[in-house]
Structure 1
Amino acid sequence: MQRRLEAFRRAHPHLAEAPPPHERLTQRDALLITYGDQFRAPDEPPLQTLHRFLRDHLGQAISGVHILPFFPYSSDDGFSVIDYRRVNPQLGDWPHIHALGRDYRLMFDAVINHISRQSAWFQGFLRGEAPYTDYFLVVNPQTNLSQVVRPRPWPLLTPVETAHGTRHVWTTFSADQIDLNYANPAVLLEIVDLLLFYVAQGAQLIRLDAIAYLWKEIGTPCIHLPQTHAVVKLFRAVLDEVAPGVLLITETNVPHAENIAYFGDGYDEAQLVYNFTLPPLTLHALLTGDGSRLTAWARTLRTPSPATTFFNFLASHDGIGVRPAEGWLSGEEIAALAETALAHGGRVSTYARPDGSQAPYELNLTWYDALNDPHRPSEHDIPRFLASQVIMLTLAGVPGIYVHSLFGSRNCGACFARTGQPRSLNREKFAYPNLEARLSTPDDRAARILAAYRHLLEVRALHPAFHPQAPQTVLDLGPALVALRRGAPEGPLYALVNLTDRPQEVLLPLEHPAPRWRDLIAEGVYQAGPQGLPLTLVPYQSLWLVPE
C-alpha cells in the first residue's frame, strides 16, 4: 500500500496541498446531478453538449457537477459498470471529462459494491482464472440468509455456470450486478487503485454508491457492518495522505441515525453524507401544509466536526426514498405519500422486511409531479415547487440539484413504457435543440423555473450565512411555516417558507436591532416594529431576509 501512495504522490505532488477543512466547501458550492448524455445534440458527443449547456445556462451559479456513472455499462442506467477505467464511448472520452473539470468541481461515482457480469473481472471468474476466482462471493444456496437486509425483492443469490460447474454468487441489486468480495485483500487494493485513478482524472468528490452493503458476513444483516465502516476509513486515510482536498460522500438510503453514522468521528470517514430524510419530510410538509415533522427533524441536525456537512437534495436519478422518514412519519403517513405518488402518475417500489412482507422503499416520479397533480394544474404549482427548493438551499450543507429540477420536468410515461423500469419516469433525456427552444420561450414552465432557480443559486453564493458551517437555528412560527435563522447573530439571515396555499401572517421575533430588512429573493423591504418584524407571506412564498 505504501508503495502505491508514494508513487501517486510523486506523480501528482500538487494534490498533497489543500485548504483547511472548513474552507473546502463554502456557500458558493452547489452541485448539479446529471447523466453524461442528459443533453443530446446532432454530431456532438453528449459530454460536450452537457458542457455547452452548463456554460450557456448556469455559468458559475453552480460550482460542481456530479456526472452519474459515465463508464461502459450493461444495465441500471450506468450502475452496472463493465469497465471502471473507461469513459463510455457513446458519451465521449476522458478529454471531455477533463474539460468539464477545468470549469467545475467533478463528482465521480465509485460503483464498487458490485460490477457488471459482463466485466472482465467476472468473465475471468467464470473461466476460473486467477486472480478473479476470489473476487466474488460464492454461497451455498442452502445457506440461511434470512437475516440479510434486502433493498430489492428478488433473489439474493444468482446461479451462474463456471468452468467448475454451477456456482451461486451474491447479487444484492440484480442478477447483472455481481457483488465484490472485500474479504479478499486483492479486491480492496484494486479499489484503492481505482479511487486514486479517479483522483488523477480530476475527481474532487467521490460518491461511494450503495456503500452500506459492502461487507457481507453470513448470520448478520449485511448492512452497516463494522468492516464496511473500516473500509470507508481506509479510503479516507488514503485520500488524506495523498489528496486531502478530495472529499468522500456516502450514499446510504436508510433511516437518519444509520445514515449519519458514515460521518464516523468527523475526521475518519465521509466528509459528506446524503441527507436522505430531507426529501420525504419536505414532500410531506408541502402536501399537508404542516411542517411540524420537518422542523422537528431539522432541529436534530448536527455534524460531528467542521470537516463534515450534509449533501442536501430533494430529487435524484433514483426515486424519493421513504425509508429515511421512518421514525419521523407514521406508517400511515408514508402510505399517504405512496398513494399521492400513484395518483400523480408515479410508481412505488418496495423492499422486503425481515418477515417477508413488502413495504414502500421509494416513490418513482419526478419531484415536480410528486408535489403537483398533473391532472389538476394550478397557479400554485411553480411557487410550491420553488418553495421546496428554497428549503433545501437554506439548510446547512451543500445543495445537490438533480437536472430535472432545473426545469420542473414532468413524468416521462414514454420512458417508462420503453423500459418497464419505474425509475425511468424520472430519467428523461433531452434533445438539446428542443430544450433550447423551450428555454427561449419566457412563459414556458422550464424557462420560468430555470430563471428562478439560477437567481436563487446566485443570491445564495454571495451570502456567508449559507456557508455549510454557518450557525443554523430552527424557529417555531407555527406548522404552516418553515423558519430558519442562518449565520452569526451580528449578521443573520432569516428564511421563511409558507407551506400552504393560503396567506400566512406572522410576527418574526428578531435578535438583531436593524429597523429595516431586505428580502434577497424578491428585493422587497420590510419595516420592523417594537415587537418584531410583521410579515404576510402569500401562498408558497419564500423570504431570505437580511438587515439593511
Structure 2
Amino acid sequence: MEYIKQRLSAIYGESEAQKIWTGLRGKLLKAKQTHHKERKQRWDEKDVVLITYSDQFQEEGKPTLATFEKVFDRYLADNFEIVHLLPFYPYSSDDGFSVMDYKKVNPIAGDWGDIEKLSKKTRIMFDYVCNHISAKSDWFKEYIKGNPEYADFFTEMDQDTDLSAVTRPRPTPVLTKFKLEDGTEKYIWTTFSEDQIDLNFKNPFVLLKMIDVLLFYVEHGAEYIRLDAVGFMWKEVGSTCIHLEKTHQIIKLFRDIVEEVAKGTVIITETNVPHEDNISYFGNGSDEAHMVYQFPLPPLVLYTINRGNGSALTQWARNIQPAGDETTFFNFLASHDGIGLNPIRGIIPEEEILALVSELKEEGAKVNYKKNPDNTQSPYEINVTYLDALNKRSDDDDLRMKRFLSAHSILLSLQGVPAIYIQSILGSRNDYDGVAKTGMNRSINRQKYRLEEIEAELTKPSTLRSKIYRELTNIIQIRKAEHLFHPDVPMEVLEKGEKIFALTRGTDSRESLTIIHNIANEPVDVELSGEFINLMTGEDLIFINTVTLDPYQFLWLKSSN
C-alpha cells in the first residue's frame, strides 16, 4: 500500500499525509478482508446502463426500490446489465444531490436490504456526491454548533475575496452567509446552491471521512462509482477552481483504493465541460478514471438531427482519439440533468448554439443559465426530454419516433459503454406539471410514475411509450448480441455527405460493421457496395454503388465476406 501513501503525500505533503495514514491503512486492510461481491473485470458489448431514480415507480405503502425491482424484472432486466441508481440517500434538495447522510437509504426507497436484493440481479452504479453535502446534514449542523471536530470541514472565506476567476456553473454567488450558534457570521463556499456546502479537501481528515464513504459503498455492492461534480473539489483563490491538479490527484487516489480493495470497481467522472478538459480525467490512461462521460454527444446529436446536417458530428467523432486499453467513454444522450451546452462550445459556433436554444424554447423547452466572469449570463443547459428536444410539438408520432430511434442508433453504435435514461426508454414527454410543482426546470425530465399507470401504457401497443419501448429494446438486444460492438473494437467515422452520419466498427476487413444514418427529413443516396447482413432484419443484402435511405432511416450492416 506504499503507493497509496505516496499519493497522499503528493496531495498534502508528507507531514500532513502522515496524520491520516495510520487510520487510512487500517480502513484499507479491514476493507480488503471484507467479502465483496465478485466484480466483472472491464466491460464488453453486453454492458448497457440504465439511468434511473430509486423512487421512479411507486405503489401505495411499498418502498419504491421494491416497486422498481418489479418493473426491472418485467421490462428492463434483459436490456440492462448495469443500473445507475441516482442518489438514493436522504436528501434536502436537488432531487438527491444534496445528501444529508451518505450511509443511509432514503426511507421512501427502502433500506440497504433492498439495495442488496437488487444487486443480486444486476450490477449497480452508486452516486458518490463527493464535492458537497447538504446544509441540513449532521456534519454541517455540527459545524454550525461550533464543534471543533468539524471546524475545518468547509471552506470559509472573507466576503470581499476576489473570486471573479472562479468557474461558475450556476448564477448564484460562490459564497453563502451562515450564522453559527455563537452568533458569528461566516461566508462559506457553495458552488451549486446555498443548500449544497462544498467540502474542504484541504483538510486531510475530510478526505479520510470521504474515503470511509467510498469504502462503505464498495462494501455495499457498488460496482460502478460515479464521482458527481468532481472537477470542483479543490479550491485555490485566484484560479478557476476547476480541474486543479490536486483534484486529479484525489481521483487517482480513489482509483488506487478501489483497485486495492475490490478490483473491477469502475470509477466514472462527471465533468460537464469541453472535451479536452473532460478527457484529462483519464490521466495517463491507467491511473485515473476508468470512464468519462461523453458530454458533447447529447447536444451534438440534437443539433445534428435538428439541422439535418451531420457535418459537425462527423468532424467531432473523427477527431476522438481512442480512450486506451484500460479506459473507455461513457456515452449517453439524456440524463436526470439537462442537455449541457458548454461541451459543444468551440465545436458549434456560439450564434448557432443560441439559435438552437431559442428554437427549443419556442417549442416548450426550459433553459438554465450560468454566470460569466463579466456578470453576463449564457445558456448552460436545455431542460427537456430528449424525445421532445428532437421534435416540434406539431410533429406526428411516426416522425417523432423515427428521429428518436435514429439518435439512439448513433448512441448505441459508437465506441464506448452506452447509457440510456429511464425517461428515454419510456418515451416520456415534457413534464410541465412537475416544473410547476417544484419550481425547478430540471423537473421537466424527472417524472415519477404510479406502477399501474406506467404498466397500462407500456402494455397497450398503440401508445407512443409502448412503441418506443419495443423498438428501442429491439435495438439494444441486437447490439448486445454483436461482439463487434465491444467498447474496445476500433471505430472509424466515414465521410458520406452532410446528410449522413456513418461509421465502421471492426478489427480487419474480414469482419466489420458498417453503420449508416440518414439524419435528414428526406431520402438520401449513399455510396455503398458489397454483401452484407442487415442486423436489424437478418436479411442478406447486396449493394452495387449506392443505397437509398428513407428519412431518418439507419442501417446496421455486417460484412458477409
Give the shorter-chain TM-score range.
over 0.9
Q: Which stretch has the larger CA shift, 57-66 or 359-368? A: 57-66
Q: Which amino acid aligns with 1:500?
A: A
After TM superposition, list the pairs within 5 Å mapping 1:112-511 onto structure 2: 112-164=130-182, 165-377=184-396, 379-489=398-508, 490-508=510-528
In 2, the alpha carbon distance for the partners of 1:236 and 1:440 equals 43
Q: 2:540 aligns with which of 496, 500, 525?
A: 525
In 2, the alpha carbon distance for the partners of 1:96 and 1:66 equals 15
Q: CA deviation at 1:43?
A: 3.0
Q: CA deviation at 1:487?
A: 1.6
Secondary structure at the residue paired with 1:65? strand
Q: 2:552 aligns with which of 537, 540, 544?
A: 540
Q: Which amino acid aligns with 1:56?
A: R
Secondary structure at the residue paired with 1:543? strand
In 1, the alpha carbon distance for the partners of 2:225 and 2:197 equals 21
Q: CA deviation at 1:494?
A: 0.8
Q: CA deviation at 1:77?
A: 0.3
Q: TM-score, normalised by structure 2?
A: 0.93
Indicate the residue corresponding to 1:512 in structure 2.
none
Contact 1:72 1:88 in 2 (8 A): yes
In 2, the alpha carbon distance for the partners of 1:42 and 1:535 equals 53
In 2, the alpha carbon distance for the partners of 1:525 and 1:444 equals 32
Q: Which amino acid aligns with 1:156?
A: V
1:502-537 deviations in Å (ceiling 9; x for gaps): 11111225xxxxx531211233432133xx5x3111
Q: 1:100 aligns with which of 118, 122, 126?
A: 118
- CA distance 1:432–1:421, change in 2 (3 Å): same
Give the share of equivalent positions with the same residue, in percent. Answer: 45
1:152-187 deviations in Å (ceiling 9; x for gaps): 001111111113411111100000000000000000
Indicate the residue corresponding to 1:37 in structure 2.
55
1:280-319 deviations in Å (ceiling 9; x for gaps): 1101100011001001110121244211000000000000
Q: CA deviation at 1:431?
A: 1.1
Secondary structure at the residue paired with 1:404? helix
In 2, the alpha carbon distance for the partners of 1:166 and 1:455 equals 58
In 2, the alpha carbon distance for the partners of 1:246 and 1:373 equals 42
Contact 1:396 1:466 in 2 (8 A): yes
Contact 1:464 1:487 in 2 (8 A): no
In 2, the alpha carbon distance for the partners of 1:205 and 1:237 equals 15
Q: TM-score, normalised by structure 1?
A: 0.96
Contact 1:341 1:364 in 2 (8 A): no
Q: Which amino acid aligns with 2:114?
A: H
Q: Which amino acid aligns with 1:6?
A: L
Contact 2:528 2:543 in 1 (8 A): no
Q: Which stretch has the larger CA shift, 43-52 or 494-503? A: 43-52
Indicate the residue corresponding to 2:9 in structure 1.
none
> Number of matched residues?
535
Q: Which amino acid aligns with 1:279?
A: P
Structure 1 residues not aligned, in runs of 5+ = 510-514
Q: CA deviation at 1:546?
A: 0.7
In 1, the alpha carbon distance for the partners of 2:263 and 2:393 equals 46
In 2, the alpha carbon distance for the partners of 1:173 and 1:479 equals 39
Contact 1:116 1:176 in 2 (8 A): yes
Q: Which amino acid aligns with 1:316?
A: S
- CA distance 1:304–1:313, change in 2 (3 Å): closer
Calculate the aligned-residue CA RMSD, in Å: 1.3
Contact 1:507 1:535 in 2 (8 A): yes
Q: Which amino acid aligns with 1:537?
A: L
